[in-house]
A = this chain, B = another copy of it.
Amino acid sequence: MEFPSKAIEEAVNELAGLPGIGRKTALRLALHILKQREEEAEQLGHAIINLRKNVKYCTRCHNLSDNDLCNICTNPRRNEKILCVVEDMKDVIALESTHQFTGLYHILGGLINPLQGIGPSMLNVESMLGRVRDEGVEEVIFAFSANIEGDTTTFYLQKKLAPMKVRMSSIARGVPVGTDLEFTDEITLARSLINRTPLGNVGE
């Protein structure tokens, strides 16, 4: 691709460096930016620069934050006795949008993945153990993706936490709500049988 202008060439090269954006998409985005008002392009540009410059990480749970402690950790209405351990910030956003969890989070920053060379020492494991030890945590919930990395990480943390006599659980694996049983894969179905939910007596 040859560009008629240096400015557009640089913008396309930079945009094409983002994940999932090829050169044709980058060109489409650049042409869209050209059609906007100058203030709008500046807002976008500054938002990207400020993002990297201003974002901090919460010193307690490792979530993104504007200050030393994030909004969730400083919220007095959250239950400090329940700790939900997740892979990254996207999982916190997903769980928060359910409005079902009122405890605190701890972000590992990844999952144990020997194939990609990610071991426990590269994750925020020590700080999690410290929190369980020192902050009076009574229950730890593992909320990882349902794959080998998630299960490996759960198993590793389970062993590490065993001496601390804390209650542990994993989010349920089962048939997703709204899915037809016949289209559910056999591993999910097997797990949903093993972890079946007891139902009470109705109409007694």
**Chain B residues near A6 (CB-CB < 8 A):** 66
**Chain B residues near A2 (CB-CB < 8 A):** 93, 96-97
Interface residue tally for chain A (C-beta within 8 Å): 61
Which residue from B3, B41, B64 sits with its C-beta under 8 Å from A52?
Answer: B41
Q: Other CB < 8 Å A-B pairs besides A20-B25, A28-B90, A45-B48, 18 of them?
A: A2-B93, A3-B93, A4-B65, A5-B70, A7-B66, A10-B50, A10-B51, A15-B47, A18-B32, A19-B28, A27-B90, A30-B51, A31-B88, A31-B89, A34-B52, A38-B53, A41-B53, A48-B48
Residues of A within 8 A of B (CB): 1-8, 10-11, 13-15, 17-21, 25, 27-34, 36, 38, 40-56, 58, 63-66, 70-72, 88-90, 92-93, 96-97
